[in-house]
Amino acid sequence: MSANLSRLAEFVPYQMSVTTNAVSDLIAGEYRARYGLKIPEWRVMAVLGDAGAKTQRELVQGTRMDKVAVNRACKVLEERGLVGRSPNACDGRSHHLELTRAGHKMHAEIMPHALEMERRLLASLDPAERRQFAQLLARIGASAVELEKGKTK
């Protein structure tokens, strides 16, 4: 059994998942305690803060979360007055979601904390390693997208 575990521990997708969960848990605790936000809610806010108004479908694509999680997050954010909804002139079935004034204010408060958390997480890497790490993550992400596209053909 330990041989199987050692193989799993060496399996890069597993390592990435475990690392992602550890980082998400760390961040979730901070955002929940300070801002009353769960990770899906913060991800939606982060995308809207960066990119402006988006439909729920675009948020699903931008966050890589399932549509139920995005829908729940949007409802919570709307109820809290952090996100507003307006009709999509291009598609009568969907709406654009965007940060409200209160949402922009909270986003501006959270970003310095998020950047500090990133700094602390990456502190063990020198600047060249951080750049390389970001480049490698981007390449792996692009490969995953390409493989996913190939799967649907």
In a domain, 152, yes or no: no
Tens-of-pLDDT digits for all 153 residues of the chain?
Answer: 455 666 888 899 899 999 988 988 888 888 899 999 998 999 999 999 999 999 999 999 989 999 999 999 999 999 999 999 998 777 777 889 999 999 999 999 999 988 999 999 999 999 999 999 999 999 999 998 899 888 755
**DSSP character string of 48-90:** HHHH--B-HHHHHHHHT--HHHHHHHHHHHHHTTSEEEEE-TT
Assess if residue 24 is contained within a domain: no
Q: Any idea what the CATH number is for the domain that residue 95 is in?
A: 1.10.10.10
Domain that holds residue 91: 37-121
* Residues 50/56/62/64 CA torsion (nearest 10 deg): 140
**Dihedral sign computed on CA atoms, order 35, 40, 44, 50:** positive
| Euclidean distance between CA atoms 77 and 89, whole angstroms | 22
pTM, 2 dp: 0.81
Domains held by the chain: number: 1
Q: Judge whether 61 lies within some domain.
A: yes
Residue 113 lies inside a defined structural domain of this protein: yes
Angle at 60 between CA 53 and CA 150, to 5 degrees: 125
